[in-house]
Structure 1
Amino acid sequence: MEIKSCITFSVSAYSNLSFTWDPWCGGSSIADYLHNQNSLSIIPSISHWNISQFIRGTSWDLPNGLDDCLVSLINSVTIDEQQENHCWKDKQNLKFSDFNSHFYATLPLVNWYKYIWHKKSAIRYSVYAWMAFRGGLKTTDVLAVRGIIVPNTCCFCNTEKETISHLFFECHYTFGIAIALLPWMHRMFMRPNIHQLYDTIWEQGFPTNTRNYYLLIASSMVYFVWRARNDRLFGGIIDCKATTIAKIRKAISIKTHGWKI
């Protein structure tokens, strides 16, 4: 129902559109019209027919039993003598991005989407980065808002309270990972939060492939830091910083094999 207004159907003598169910008649289907007129009893007799079965040459050849208003509405639909064309918002040569843009059209645009969903992104890592930006990861401050009180000390530094900003990447443990994987980070006077870290990648002026490479690293850092955090809290596994860095480097090496950076 939500996309009917976006689709335009043309009709030809060879059309295989459903006469009853497809919205080819002024943007609506014949079934919609019959439903509104309380004339559903007609549907069984025509439900399995295609449009082409109601066209003779360049004219409509309609069955008996349709009311005058419906006949008039159908006759107002032009029969295309050429091959039928179906358009999405008056556009014939479609790309997936056309449908994707319509699906998300009602949502607010955020300035960090380009950091997460770039051309070379990996869904496994991008989902966790997206949740971090959205406050979707269950850090202790997020749980507290929901009325769930748990020990709130960062499991990496054991001094500061665990928040999204602290975990990514104000904590000395996670900031050390960022320094090891993003060469320019050691020049920063203050430890960045997640927004600032991604901003620094964008501001370096890298070529697109190189920039996507570092954006992928950033998202993988979020993923592996979150895993390391959960391993410590719930699995009794305590990886040192070097181990976490090695895991990220291995994952990035596998993902970017064959890239031109």
Structure 2
Amino acid sequence: MSVFQLSRWIIGILNNIRRTYLWQGRNSNRKLVTVAWDKVCSPKSIGGLGVMDLHTFNLSLLAKWYWKWHGSHQSCWRELLVNLHGNSPTPPSSSPLSKPFQQLQPIISTTTYFTITSGACVLLWHQNWGLGILSSNFHVLFSYCLNPDITVYDFLQHLTTPLQLFRPSLTSSLLAQQQLLQLVHLTQQILSQPTSQTQDQICCKIAPNQLTSASLYNFLKTFPKIPSDFRLVWKLKVPPRVTTFSWLLLHDKLPTIPNLQEKGMILVNRCCLCKSQAETILHLFKTCPYSITTRTFTSYFSNCNIPNVDLCDALTSTELTLKQKELLAISCYFIWKERCSRTFSDANNQPHSTAMLILEDWKLLHPD
């Protein structure tokens, strides 16, 4: 992934394997996928699982080589490529890095820039050396250039006679001539600034010291920075199965009867715990008599009061202790487990039996 760009077809196959493992594990039975893959690849703080997006991660790893090419002039691997293919601002077409570098150019141009001394290692038109990407900023002038891959150094050699670098028809375009004069003027301004560098140097816009695959990945995956209750789920000291359940519960992606009906299944909506009201998330975990009785037993035997609130309100509450939030999450998990047992295997555990299961898990976490 760090040398070759993966095709969309390969990424699709790998994502299918990862998606299958996430929702099915090693079980061959197909299970219901409830959360979109894009959401799964989001950070945990905004409701995802923090799974890497392979396409973005692949681009980030490839861009790291671009940084190394311009920042590690004495490295053995660069010297080997230079000896094989020659020295140039970018790897030549015969180099295995050539194609990835070309495809990454739009990303690189927005995240890096060059400070120049000689300009021998910097492309005039395609790399940012203080004036942005000239092929875009001076697109009319660029259409007249004779060598699109000319370096800044070669341009500086013709700074007093720049017309030699362009087609003769340039003189017929007033806008192109104006852009040429502007380019020469801006270049002279940049060269007049004092510098202590001995060679061209690549700099990073998005990180303080150097471009890393992590910093570029976070830059490319722009997520909304909004307050979210999901970050609180991962702070609970509960078993992983309870954490995953709580994550699905906050997303309202548990396979409840209303959610299954939205997927086209024809089902009678009735709570199998109380057998009197419709099954909803709010009813199952807050207002159902079975759930209320289970929480009452659990609170009594654990000496930790479980409030009659839903998990989302509990996580954001400043009045509840961390232990109360953890016990509520475990209680919701075992209530859901009892609901599934009654649906698929005709189980009929009483509330005090479910409370004992909750307390067993609770004692493992808090043996004191």
Calculate the TM-score normalised by the size of structure 1: 0.59
Give % identity: 16
Say if 1:250 and 1:185 are closer, same or farther in 2 by CA, change over 3 A. Answer: closer
The alpha-carbon deviation at position 180 of structure 1 amounts to 3.7
Distance of 2:290 and 2:284 partners within structure 1: 9
- Partner AA of 1:235 in structure 2: S
Q: What's the counterpart of residue 285 of structure 2?
A: 168
**CA displacement 1:200-258 (0-9 Å, x = unmatched):** 5x423x4xxxx1x3333222222211111110010122211111111111122223458
Distance of 1:219 and 1:18 partners within structure 2: 58
Q: What's the counterpart of residue 242 of structure 1?
A: 352
Matched, 1:203 2:319: yes
- Partner AA of 1:161 in structure 2: A
Matched, 1:43 2:161: no
Calculate the TM-score normalised by the size of structure 2: 0.44
Matched, 1:89 2:150: no
Q: What's the counterpart of residue 222 of structure 1?
A: 332
Distance of 2:240 and 2:217 partners within structure 1: 16
The alpha-carbon deviation at position 149 of structure 1 amounts to 2.4
**CA displacement 1:125-184 (0-9 Å, x = unmatched):** 111111111111111111222232212111111111100111112212112233344544
Gaps of 5+ in 1: 21-28, 35-39, 48-61, 80-85
Say if 1:149 and 1:14 are closer, same or farther in 2 by CA, change over 3 A. Answer: same
Partner SS for 2:95? helix
Would you say the 8 A contact 2:271–2:279 is kept in 1?
yes
Distance of 1:158 and 1:172 partners within structure 2: 10
- Partner AA of 2:319 in structure 1: E
Distance of 2:348 and 2:80 partners within structure 1: 65
Distance of 2:225 and 2:97 partners within structure 1: 47
Partner SS for 1:230? helix
Would you say the 8 A contact 2:272–2:339 is kept in 1?
yes
Partner SS for 1:43? coil
- Partner AA of 1:11 in structure 2: S
Gaps of 5+ in 2: 1-54, 82-88, 100-120, 122-146, 154-197
**Aligned residue pair count:** 207
Query: CA RMSD for the aligned pairs?
Result: 4.5
Distance of 1:91 and 1:44 partners within structure 2: 27
State how 1:1-261 maps to structure 2 within 5 Å.
2=56, 4=60, 9=68, 10-11=71-72, 13-14=74-75, 30=90, 34=92, 40=93, 42-43=94-95, 69=149, 77-78=200-201, 89-90=207-208, 105-106=222-223, 109=226, 111-118=228-235, 120-182=237-299, 183-185=304-306, 191-200=308-317, 202-204=318-320, 206=321, 211=322, 213-257=323-367
